[in-house]
Amino acid sequence: DPSRTAMSSGSPAPCVLVDSREIASGPEVISCLRVKHGLRAEVCSLGGCNFIVSNRMAVERRTQSEISHSQNRGKLVERVQSLRAAFERVCLIVEKDRTKGETSRIIQRTRYYDSTLSALLGAGTRILFSSGQEETAGLLAELTRVEQRKNAAITVPLQVKGHRQQALQFYLTIPGVSYVSALNMCHRFRSVWHTVNSSVEGLAWGACVDPQRAEEIFRYFHYTFDAQLLPDRPTPGSSKRSL
């Protein structure tokens, strides 16, 4: 039975996956993580995620004003729904808006803000508050270390080279699978064949996911495809008027 702790002996710096869009929106966060907190921060395209701090936790970084306005509600809902599907733990860091000049713009606390926070809590989202990018980096570092203490740290190489890139993209098409689960599968299974032919328990080990998610991945690999069930494509000449 492969030892789970084999790869974590020798303790290299704990690592965080950072979405490439954070380079523009949170450059200080990234440099703080690396310089001040000594973490390995790997920047890549994470798709629907800001930060991944362990095998099971995603962290979403939003400004206070983003949470305060209902026009952003749809996107926030979509994001949290997809994060909850892919990750056991979802954390939101609410960061104070950056202000220009001396007058600190006090954001009026709205009923909408309170009800959004309440709903997020009701959905099991953890919430942390930060006054700026530096503090956000500090919170991310803390979360990473707490996850490490709970044996959930990312232990596989953060980069994928050569033909493993194809395997990574292959795994990323699985619905509800996170970037880090796909990364784990790339490194921890000998080949794609081994992943696809793995038992539920094997998938839980290889992808570093809970039994329920392992079950879903297993079912997906064994799912019987029926071309009739593909979504309808409009055929030329037929006019389907929407009601």
Partner 1 sequence: VRAGAAALYGQVLVNEKWRGSAIAQGFQGKIKPIFEDGLGLVDFHLSNQTCVLYISETDMVVGNSYKRKLVRFQKATSLRGIVLVEKTRISEQYFQSVQKFVVLELGMTLLPVASQTEASQLLIQLVHEESKEHGHNPFRRKSRSNLAEPAVLAMVQQIPGVGKVKALALLQQFPSIHQLSNATTEELEVVVGRTIAQQIRTFFIQT
Q: Quick one: 114 or 210, whose CB is closer to partner 1?
A: 114
Separation CA 95–CA 114 (nearest Å): 15
Q: By CB under 8 A, is residue 210 in contact with partner 1?
A: no
Two structure tokens written together for 10:
């020798």
Q: Which is nearer to partner 1, 23 or 146 (CB)?
A: 146
For residue 231, state whether it binds partner 1 (rule: CB under 8 A).
yes
Segment near partner 1 (CB under 8 A); pick from 42-50, 53-61, 200-208, 214-222 = 214-222
18 SS3 class: strand
Q: Is 141 exposed, middle or buried (0-12, 13-18, 19+ CB in 10 A)?
A: buried
Interaction pattern, residues 74-113, with partner 1; x per rule: CB under 8 A? ---xx-xxx-xx-----------------------x-x--
89-95 sheet: strands from edge to edge:
40-44, 15-19, 51-52, 57-63, 89-95, 126-130
Using rule CB under 8 A, residue 202 touches partner 1: no
Give the residue, chosen from 100, 161, 222, 233, that forms a contact with partner 1 under the rule CB under 8 A. 222
Is residue 114 a contact point for partner 1 (CB under 8 A)?
A: yes
Decide: is 71 part of the binding site for partner 1 (CB under 8 A): no
Query: 168 with 183: CB under 8 angstroms?
Result: yes
CA distances from 125 to 61, 71, 108, 179, 242 (A): 13, 21, 23, 19, 38
Q: Which of 13, 23, 35, 127 binds partner 1 (CB under 8 A)?
A: 127
- DSSP label at 7? G
Which stretches of the chain bind partner 1, using CB under 8 A? 73, 77-78, 80-82, 84-85, 109, 111, 114-115, 117-123, 125-129, 135, 138, 142-143, 146, 163, 166, 169-170, 173-176, 190-193, 196-197, 220-227, 229-231
